[in-house]
Structures are given as structure tokens and as C-alpha cells.
Amino acid sequence: MASTSKDNAPISVQDENTPDELEPGACPESILNPTDSFEEFASEMSSSLQERNALTTKSSTISEIQSEIGEEKDAQMKTTKSADDLQSKDGSISASASSSNLTEENGDDTDNAPENYLHSPELINKEKHVFILSSAGKPIYSRYGNEDKLAGLCGVIQALVSVVEEQNQDILRSITTKDCKAVFLVKGPLILVAVSKSNESETQLVLQLTYAFNQIVSVLTLTQLNRIFEQRRNYDLRRLLSGAERLIDHLLIFMEKDPAFLLGAVRCLPLPEKARENITNAITTTCHKIRDLVFAIMIAGNQLITLVRMKKYTLHPSDIHLLFNLVRSSESFKTAESWTPICLPKFDATGFLHGHVSYIAEDCQACLLLLTVQRDAFFPLSQAKHTIAEKMRRSNCLVAINDALNRHRDLPTTNPLKHIGIPEIRHFMYKCKSTAQLFTSDPISLDRLQDYRMRHKEGGDIVEKPIKKLSDIDYVRNYRQFCSQIHCTSIPAKLIFRSNAQDTILAWVTNGFELYVTFDALMEKDQAIKAVDRLLWWIKKEEQRIFIMNAPTF
Amino acid sequence: MSSIFIFPGVGKTSLVVRYIGKMFSKHISPTIGASFFTCNINLDNARVKLQVWDTAGQERFRSMAPMYYRNANAALLVFDITSATSFTAIKGWVKELQSNVPEAMVLSVVGNKSDLESLRAVPYSDAAQYAATIGAAYTETSALHDQGIDQVFLNTATSLLKLSSSNLVSSLRSYDSADGDTDRIPTGKPSEEDATHTGKVELPAWRIDNIAHGEMQRSMCC
Ligand SMILES: Nc1nc2c(ncn2[C@@H]2O[C@H](COP(=O)(O)OP(=O)(O)O)[C@@H](O)[C@H]2O)c(=O)[nH]1
Ligand SMILES: [Mg+2]
């Protein structure tokens, strides 16, 4: 049973022993915006119907940057921005062609008896469903099965949501049955629903739905999404999203497995301090004269290598997660340099940035994203990328990245538990709150994700078979409930210690960090606290390698 | 304005990857935005460097198209012979090109997936006839079986060369280079839009979805 204690005994222990008063990973300035996603979603959950309907669009950061870059360019930029719309220049959604197409697509809806479809093998026995529909009740996305055949279900969902709104002047948030939770989220013109049998809390599910919504915004921008439905309430959004369903599919899997989502933090690729510095320098020296460049981001294997930014601007972890997801789901980036519009919802939901996306070299799977406000900047950025890659090769950075990615035996971060030398610790994850960065003892590798999907039969079916050796993913599943207790808005816990015959889990949050540790079964509390202390000492010692400890600008 | 959108899945990326990468993959993932490729084509007495934009077919990337064809000198209009809709889509693009690109342009109509003869939905003669009306060549290709693709690129390069020597097109300049050094910076004035880019002879070629910015270079071969 979970025993919750708010005594700060362990905090005093920490004060004596950690080498520095700053928590591991903390630094004066952060590249990431450390907003806690839980706080944000808690506010999402508590907003009233009026507040939600008055959802205002913030001023555009992109326009701000554009006007800062230069006056003479400004006029041209403005037109550029409006031309970024998906619609033809006259501003209307190519109406005639689309409507004719629409009727075609929906023609065969009536063929199948919808009640039977809900019981088909494609849909039953799934751990978690996600449905997205328009507020008019038109299906947009279903995680499993064919959303075309779910028109009936979507109608029911839409009716439920609107009855609560219209008759009770309230918001339908969730429905709970014995073994299943349905969570509803209305965002702009969309309704998102998760139906889950997992141990995720309502807040965690809302968080996932919000991510799914942001993924759609990232492809279309909020401005367009709203305008499309203002013009045609009945629009079939699948037309514009075609090809992007894959992004939502991947995102949903990713969110279930990677603690980065659970904690609202970003994992960095552990690198020697010098190597990271060289990479950052390669970028800043090459790009400091490119005025419209807003962010240069290098990532590998869902980990951040470096982020260089325009002064004043930082990125929200959730925007970075969407970039991770985009890169991970798009094999096509590997074959050639790409140029694509990208909207980062937290940065500016109203407009597109333009991204030059490419892998550094054939022999190095690090991906560089150069994000600009200038839609014609492909060629200078392409040039810049080649210069950066060349500089990195000359300073041996490619080798350093490859060693980290291949988890070279000699690196202390490859097998941290062995290095720390506390045999009782099976697994840990640590988040530095002020920089929104994360480190875990056993980073999930991509092949591991693959294994997991196979074990869970790719289709997300519930599998009863007990798991023999736990992986990062399984530990993270176990932490979920502790995480919700710690982030619970009414009575948040500071320290949770639970010991039983299976394992011992300690979850601890301070102003500076969050830490989750799994120990062997039946550990004593004192012993656990001593071990945690050593653990923190080790993280502090390795912090320069594990975390990005500065916030470079162009 | 025409509101036709291009069909994804006609095999644009497969064509380019086949031509440049000399391979075919069944698992090509959908193009995001646009991908950029370059290749060199050796003709009898010249070497043409093509810069090719392979664009995503999805409607939401539709608005990006002008950026690719604005400076292009050639376009490959690719459709899928098993899809009549993809063929119709091409006609809309040709209209858009004709009204938005003032310079002469090499157009080439390409019917891909010729290996799927049994599923053919666009008769050869219809496509060939249409191509003739817009002054384009018509070629059928199979990215799967590597048929017709070399010819498409070779024809395009040859036509571009002709276009450049006839001097019809101001944005398309060639220069002689005694040593054949591809990286030499030309002395010609850069065109306003491409000031950013390498500044060599612009021989951009775009296709409906594959827009090639060609940089052409004639070497002093005998
Ligand atoms: N049978 C056949 N299939 C092809 C051919 N070219 C492409 N495909 C398939 O068509 C699909 C779409 O190809 P892709 O290159 O992504 O099309 P794009 O969207 O136009 O770039 C893929 O499944 C390819 O394998 C071809 O010549 N023959
Ligand atoms: Mg493609």
C-alpha cells in the first residue's frame, strides 16, 4: 500500500551530501520552457464552458519575429505569411472540387451495419482507443479500425458532448465504468476522446489527447483549422490530414512508452561536454548571420543533442516532442534534404515555421532541423547544413554522436546502474525541473520500442502474459500512478515510499527535481534514502554529460 | 484559379529515387513537404546539373507549389496510369503553370506504373494526345521495373539545353567553363530570386511535383 509522507527528512539528508546546492542539471538559463504540463492540463480540466468557448488566439510570435528582422522585408513577409495558407490565394477552400469529392468518399457509409462493426476484431480488446471527430460529429481519426465505419459512434459521442453543453451548461469530461475510462476533450472545432483500460489517470489521458490535438495543429495551424470549420461546419478534415494519420498513430505509441511525455521533459543525448560544445559552435559560427533563422535543433534517437535559438525565444518541451515524432515517423527525411512547413503549437499556433530537415551524414544518424520564418530560405539553409556537417566531421563530433547512439561500452551513461554501483537500484528516472530535462537509467532504444510493440501485438491488444524481464517501458508504466499522486492538485505528495514483495518504489519531488526509483523488493526506507543520495551525487557528477547546461543563441 | 490537387501515391518519389539512387523500395514513406535532389546528366557535349524538387502530393502542401515552380525551367507532370483522377489533376497543374510562369518551360508528361497494364485507366493515346497539345513529350515509366526513367531525364536535359541555347529564357543561362569545374562561380549577374543560391546557371526544371532547378554547365568537350 502506498504510504504518503510529507516529512522532509530526505531533503535534509540531501543537503548534507550533494556537492553543490543546485540540483543536478540546473543551470542559469534554459533552452526549454519549463512549464509543467501537469499544471497546464490541470487548468485545462478546471476551465468552465464559458472560458473554453472564449478561447482566444494569442498574438503571433512569428509575425513578431518577422517585423523584428527588418522593415523593408516586412511588407513582403506579410504577404508571404498569408500565402502560407493551405488555401488558394482568394482565401476560400477550393470549395467546388472538395465538395464533389466529399460526397464520393462518404458514399458507402450505409453499407455496413455499424453496431456489428463495433464488435469486430479490429476494435475489441484494445487497451486504448482514441477517436477524433469534428464538432459536427464527422469522423476524423480512429486509432484502430476504419473511421469511415465509425460515423455512428461519432454521432453518439457528438450528441453526448452537446447534450451536456446545451442542456446542463457544463462540460462532459469523463465517463468511468468498472474497467474502462472514457475521457473527452473539446478543443476548438474538434472533439477528442480516449477510451482506455490502462492505468493512466484522467489527467494523463487528457494530456495525450491534447498532444494529439497539437499534432493536428502542427500540420495545419490553429488559424486554418478554425477557419476551415467556420466556413464549412461539415468539412471532412481527413482530406487535409491525409498522410498525417501516421503521425498521430506514432505519437500515441510514443506517449505510452516514453517517460518524457509523462514528465513534460526532454531527454538529451549524453555527450562529452566538449563534443556538445563543438557541435553548438559549428552551428552558431555557421548560422549567426542568417537573420531569419529561429531555431537550429539537432536530435538523434529521440534525444536532443543541441538547440540554438534566436535571442528571447525558447521552446516548449511539447513542441520538441512533436519534432521528435515527426522525424521518427518520417523515413523520407533519410533519403534527401527536405523543406516543409511546420507549426509548433506552443511557440505559435497561428502560423508555420519553415523547416530544412536533413540527416547530418550517411554515417551519422543525427538529424538537423533549421527552422526559419522565411519560406524561401531553402538554399541558404542547405548551404549552412553542409558547412555545419563538415565542421562537425572535422572536430570528430560524428564519432562522439555515434558512440553515444550505439551506447559504447566505455561510456558511463551507457549503463548507469553499473556505474553507480548500487545493486539494489533496478531503475530510475530523474527530471531537472528548471531545465525540463530528463535522464533515465535505461533509455528506450528504438528497437526496444519495436519489441514492445511486438509483445503487445502491434495492434495494442491487451495481453495477459506476464512479462519476464522488465524494460524501461514497464517501469514507466509502474511510475504512472505515483506520478499522478505527486501531481495531484488537491493534495500533492512530496515523497512516496512503497515497499512490497515485488519491488520498492520511491517517488520524490522537490522544488528542483522529480525522481522516481525502483529498488529490489522489501527495501527499508532508510536504506533507500541513502541509495537515493548516492544516486543524486552521481547524477550531479555526470550532469555536464547528461544534460544541456547552457542556452546558446545565434 | 484552379483548385485541383495532386494525388499522392503516383510514384514521384519512387521515380526520383530509382533514377538517382538506382533502387526501388516498396516501403518509401510519404514525402513531407518537399525533398530536394541533385543529379548530373552527361549529354554528348555538355553536362547538365539538375536540381529536382520532389514535392508531396497531399493537398495541405498545395500552397507550397508556387515556390518550387516559380524559378523552374522544366516540369515533369507525373500521373499514375491506373488512376484517371491523377491524369485529370495534371491538366489543372498545366493551366496553373501556364498562367504563373512567364518563361518558356520544358514540360514532360509521365505516365508511371506502366507495369500495371491490366489495371490501366488512362489509354496511351489519350495521354500522348494531351501531351502533344501542350508541347510536351509523353513517356510511360515503371519505377518498379526501371523502365523509361532514364529516357525521361535525358529528354528533359536535352530539351533544357536546347532552350538555353535558343536564349528564349532569361533566367536560364549557360556559361562555358574551360576546366569543367562544377563549382566555379559564374560571372553572370544573379537573378533576383536566386541571389541566395549558388548563383550558377539556373536551369530549373519542375514537375508537378518534381520541380527541378537545373544548373547547367557546358564543358568544352570536343
Ligand atoms: N507497381 C508499381 N508501383 C509503384 C511504381 N512506382 C511507385 N509505386 C508504388 O506507389 C506507391 C507510391 O509511391 P511514391 O513514390 O511514394 O509516390 P508519390 O507520393 O507520388 O511520391 C508506393 O507504394 C510505390 O511502391 C511503379 O512503377 N509500379
Ligand atoms: Mg513522394
Task: Say if residue A14's pLDDT is above 50.
Answer: no
DSSP structure string for A44-70: HHH--HHHHHT-PPPPPHHHHHHHHH-
Q: Which has the higher per-residue pLDDT, A13 or A228?
A: A228
Query: Among all chains, which residue has been given the C-alpha cell 529516357?
Result: B151
Is residue A434 domain-shared with residue A506, that is, in the same domain?
yes
Q: How confident is the model at residue A1 (pLDDT cuts 50, 70, 90)?
A: very low
Hey, which of B7, B10, B12, B14 would you mutate to test ligand 1's pocket, going by the most ligand atoms within 8 Å of its Cβ? B14
Is residue A116 domain-shared with residue A16, that is, in the same domain?
no
Of the partner residues B30, B64, B66, the one whose CB lies closest to the CB of residue A332: B30
Mean pLDDT value across chain A = 81
Q: Is residue A86 part of a domain?
A: no
CB A528 within 8 A of CB A519: yes
pLDDT at A39: 64
Nearest-atom index, ligand 1, CA of B141: 27
For residue range B116-159, list pLDDT tens digits in order: 999 999 999 999 999 999 999 999 999 999 999 999 999 988 88
CATH number of residue A460's parent domain: 3.30.450
Is residue A116 domain-shared with residue A252, that is, in the same domain?
yes
The residue segments making up the domain with residue A355 are 266-405
Using DSSP's 3-state secondary structure scheme, residue B209 falls into: coil
> Considering its fold, how many domains does chain B have in total?
1
For residue B119, count other CB atoms closer than 10 A to its CB: 11
Distance of CA B7 to the CA centre of its chain: 17
Q: Is residue A178 part of a domain?
A: yes
For residue A132, give Cα distances in angstroms to A109, A163, A209, A252. 18, 18, 9, 13
> What value does the mean pLDDT take over residues A42-69?
70
Q: Is residue A17 part of a domain?
A: yes
Is residue A295 domain-shared with residue A395, that is, in the same domain?
yes
Task: Say if residue A530's pLDDT is above 80.
Answer: yes
Give the whole-angstrom CA distance, residue A291 versus residue A457: 48
CB B200 within 8 A of CB B3: no
Q: Which has the higher per-residue pLDDT, B168 or B143?
A: B143
Is residue A291 domain-shared with residue A396, that is, in the same domain?
yes
For residue A187, count other CB atoms closer than 10 A to its CB: 21
Q: Is residue A91 part of a domain?
A: no
> What value does the mean pLDDT take over residues A11-29?
63
CB contacts under 8 A, A 226-285 vs B, are: 239-244, 246
The torsion defined by the Cα of A524, A526, A530 and A535, in degrees rounded to 10, comes to 50
Please list every residue in chain A whose beta carbon sits closer than 8 Å to the beta carbon of residue B17.
335
Ligand nearest to the CA of B140: 1
Is residue A358 domain-shared with residue A430, that is, in the same domain?
no
pLDDT at B213: 45
Most B CBs within 10 Å, among A220, A242, A370, to test the B interface? A242
pLDDT at A75: 42
Boundary-marking domain end, from A390, A405, A420:
A405
Please give the share of chain A, as a percent, with pLDDT higher than 90.
Answer: 43
Pull the grid cell for residue A403: 558512440
Interchain pair B34, A355: CB under 8 A: no
Interchain pair B60, A380: CB under 8 A: no
Q: Which has the higher per-residue pLDDT, A139 or A53?
A: A139
Question: What residues are in contact with ligand 1 under a 6 Å CB criterion?
Answer: B 8-14, 26, 28, 30-31, 57, 112-113, 115-116, 142-144
Most B CBs within 10 Å, among A82, A84, A85, A86, to test the B interface? A86
CATH number of residue A297's parent domain: 3.30.450.30
Return the amino acid letter for A43.
Answer: S
Please list every residue in chain B whose beta carbon sits closer than 8 Å to the beta carbon of residue A339.
33-36
Q: Is residue B113 part of a domain?
A: yes
CB contacts under 8 A, A 379-408 vs B, are: 379-380, 382-383
Across A30-34, A51-55, A169-173, A513-517, the highest mean pLDDT is recorded for: A513-517
Is residue A202 domain-shared with residue A295, that is, in the same domain?
no
CB A212 within 8 A of CB A248: yes
Q: Round to the nearest angstrom and report the end-to-end CA distance of chain A.
A: 52
Boundary-marking domain end, from A405, A427, A442:
A405
Q: Which has the higher per-residue pLDDT, A11 or A478?
A: A478
CB A260 within 8 A of CB A321: yes
Q: Is residue A494 part of a domain?
A: yes
Interface contact A338, partner B, CB < 8 A: yes
pLDDT at B182: 35
Give the whole-angstrom CA distance, residue B158 versus residue B216: 11
For residue range A158-184, list pLDDT tens digits in order: 888 888 888 877 788 888 888 889 999
CATH number of residue B77's parent domain: 3.40.50.300
The residue segments making up the domain with residue B51 are 2-210
Of A170-179, A242-251, A350-359, A507-516, give the lowest mean pLDDT range.
A170-179
Q: How confident is the model at residue A468 (pLDDT cuts 50, 70, 90)?
A: low
Instruction: Cite the beta strand spans of A207-349 per DSSP E.
Output: 266-267, 293-300, 303-309, 337-342
Is residue A511 domain-shared with residue A433, that is, in the same domain?
yes
pLDDT at A210: 94
Give the whole-angstrom CA distance, residue A382 versus residue B17: 20
Give the whole-angstrom CA distance, residue A349 versus residue A223: 7
Q: Which has the higher per-residue pLDDT, A49 or A397?
A: A397
Q: How confident is the model at residue A35 (pLDDT cuts 50, 70, 90)?
A: low
CB B194 within 8 A of CB A379: yes
Q: Is residue A72 part of a domain?
A: no
Q: How confident is the model at residue A7 (pLDDT cuts 50, 70, 90)?
A: very low
Interface contact A19, partner B, CB < 8 A: no
Q: Is residue A470 part of a domain?
A: yes
Q: Is residue B95 part of a domain?
A: yes
Please give the share of chain A, as a percent, with pLDDT higher than 70.
Answer: 78
pLDDT at A474: 79
Is residue A200 domain-shared with residue A326, that is, in the same domain?
no
Of the partner residues B1, B31, B35, the one whose CB lies closest to the CB of residue A89: B1
Nearest to B39 by CA among B25, B26, B22: B22
> What value does the mean pLDDT take over residues A53-60?
63
Interchain pair B21, A335: CB under 8 A: yes
Is residue A201 domain-shared with residue A174, that is, in the same domain?
yes
Size of chain B in residues: 222
Pull the grid cell for residue B33: 513537404
pTM of the complete model? 0.83
Q: Which has the higher per-residue pLDDT, B146 or B205?
A: B146
CB B108 within 8 A of CB B75: yes
Ligand nearest to the CA of B76: 1
Q: Is residue B26 part of a domain?
A: yes
Is residue A253 domain-shared with residue A134, that is, in the same domain?
yes
Task: Say if residue B84's pLDDT is above 70.
Answer: yes
Boundary-marking domain end, from A232, A257, A282:
A257
> Considering its fold, how many domains does chain A have in total?
3
pLDDT at A57: 55
Give the whole-angstrom CA distance, residue A160 versus residue A135: 11
Write the residue with the smallest CA distance to atom 9 of ligand 1: B11
Smallest CA–CA separation between B107 and chain A, in Å? 23
Q: Is residue B221 part of a domain?
A: no
Q: Is residue B215 part of a domain?
A: no
Interface contact A88, partner B, CB < 8 A: yes
CB B86 within 8 A of CB B7: yes
For residue range A395-404, list pLDDT tens digits in order: 999 999 999 9
Smallest CA–CA separation between A337 and chain B, in Å? 5
Interchain pair B63, A335: CB under 8 A: no
Interchain pair B36, A220: CB under 8 A: no
Nearest-atom index, ligand 1, CA of B112: 27
Q: Which helix (H) or strand (E) holds B156?
A: helix B149-165
Ligand nearest to the CA of B86: 1
Of the partner residues B17, B60, B66, the one whose CB lies closest to the CB of residue A335: B17
Interface contact B185, partner A, CB < 8 A: no
Interface contact B119, partner A, CB < 8 A: no
pLDDT at A94: 39
CB pairs under 8 A between A and B: 102
ipTM: 0.76
Chain A residue with Cα closest to B193: A376
Of A112-126, A232-246, A472-486, B165-179, give the lowest mean pLDDT range.
B165-179
Q: Is residue B220 part of a domain?
A: no
Of A51-65, A404-418, A470-484, B202-216, give the lowest mean pLDDT range.
B202-216
Is residue A140 domain-shared with residue A24, that is, in the same domain?
no
Ligand nearest to the CA of B143: 1
Q: Is residue B205 part of a domain?
A: yes
